[in-house]
Structure 1
Amino acid sequence: MAHISLPEGLPGIVGPMAYSPQTTKPLNELAEVILRTNASESLTQGERELIAAYVSRRNDCSFCSKCHGAVADFLLGRDNQVVAQTWADLDTAPISDKLKALLAIADSVRESGLSVTSQQIAAARELGADDRDIHDTVLIAAAFSMFNRYVDGLATWSPEDPAAYLGMGESLATRGYPSVVDPQPV
């Protein structure tokens, strides 16, 4: 049961956003900017969503990890199971070494911004990360630590059935992050 009275049947962050519509627009605008990329940036939308899902998983945020994991799976190919393999073992995950280095930075940000080391940055640079990649990784990790705490700090409801996230993942991957929340249950 949520810590405050939230609209019934709205999972994860959707409930608090329906409760406080004035925060929905800026929070979803932030998500739109940091997760949906254009072709001129080197991190793909799938990689950005994987960073969000990885941070959320490491923060034990069930809703955000499953939701953004579903987005990443949709974008990276569900049959590839990149998200599950990354969650299981980052070292053997079927992702680039550059992305592995960026995920290590994201995990440090998740703990504390001060946990990021110059050695981690140097390692990422050696593997091809540029200033934009590092900036965006730190921003995604910091933002998702906030989103995770928002969702879990209010004890929001999270569907247990993994199939519940498939439609959410496809919708966010193809339509983006809306500036208003439909108050109808999903």
Structure 2
Amino acid sequence: MAHIDLGVDEHQFPGISGLWRFRPETARPLGDLAEVLLRGPHPMSAGERELIAAYVSGLNECNFCCSSHSAFAAAQLDAGMPLVDRVHADLDSAPIPEKLRSLLRIAREVQQDGRRVTAELVQAARDEGATDLEIHDTVLIAAAFCMYNRYVDGLGTLAPDGPDGYAESTRRIIERGYTI
């Protein structure tokens, strides 16, 4: 149960969805930001960007965001949940393109402290073909998900148990996106 009365059935609106219904004035810009970063036109696929969100959420130990964005990434990546699980388990040995691995390494440093992103990490991503837009948005996705994770966990929202609890939200996000 959330730390505050959200005025909704948390089983129907778990995690951030209940928070967004509680405060639609803040939900709109937060949803718009997620829409641009995770689903808007971009050289990285939506699945890759969702994977960055899931990876950072896992590092932050945010069960709801890690589970939901892992499901969203898996639904949009050819290798599905086995790949997402491999990235969570061991980034260095996961079977992903080196460009994506270098961007996830940047995201990992942002999750710890943005000042840990070094010129060497950025150059390594560029050496793998990452563009300035991809580097920028990786940093912003990582930073935004640190905020989203703290928002969800700081208010003690409900996280469904198991992957089946995210099936409906996965369909909704893929079909309609994050825009409120």
CA distance in 1, matches of 2:91, 2:177: 27
Output one character per residue of 1:20-60: Cα deviation in whole Å (capped at 9) or x when no partner: 1111111100110000132xx32111100000010001100
- RMSD of aligned alpha carbons: 1.3
Contact 1:2-1:156 at 8 Å conserved across structures: yes
93-102 or 6-15: which moved more?
6-15
CA distance in 1, matches of 2:44, 2:38: 9
119-128 or 75-84: which moved more?
75-84
Contact 1:59-1:110 at 8 Å conserved across structures: yes
98-107 or 77-86: which moved more?
77-86
Contact 1:70-1:170 at 8 Å conserved across structures: no
Identify the structure with bigger relative contact order (alpha carbons < 8 Å, sequence gap 6+): 1
CA distance in 2, matches of 1:118, 1:15: 39
What is residue 106 of structure 1 aligned with on the other side?
A: 107
Offset at residue 80 of structure 1 (A):
5.8
One-letter code aligned to 1:28: G
What is residue 17 of structure 1 aligned with on the other side?
A: 20
After TM superposition, the structure 1 = structure 2 runs for residues 60-99 of structure 1, keeping only pairs within 5 Å, are: 60-77=61-78, 79=80, 81-99=82-100
CA distance in 2, matches of 1:25, 1:138: 21
Contact 2:75-2:170 at 8 Å conserved across structures: yes
TM-score, length of structure 2 as denominator length: 0.93
In structure 1, stretches of 5+ residues that fail to align are 180-186
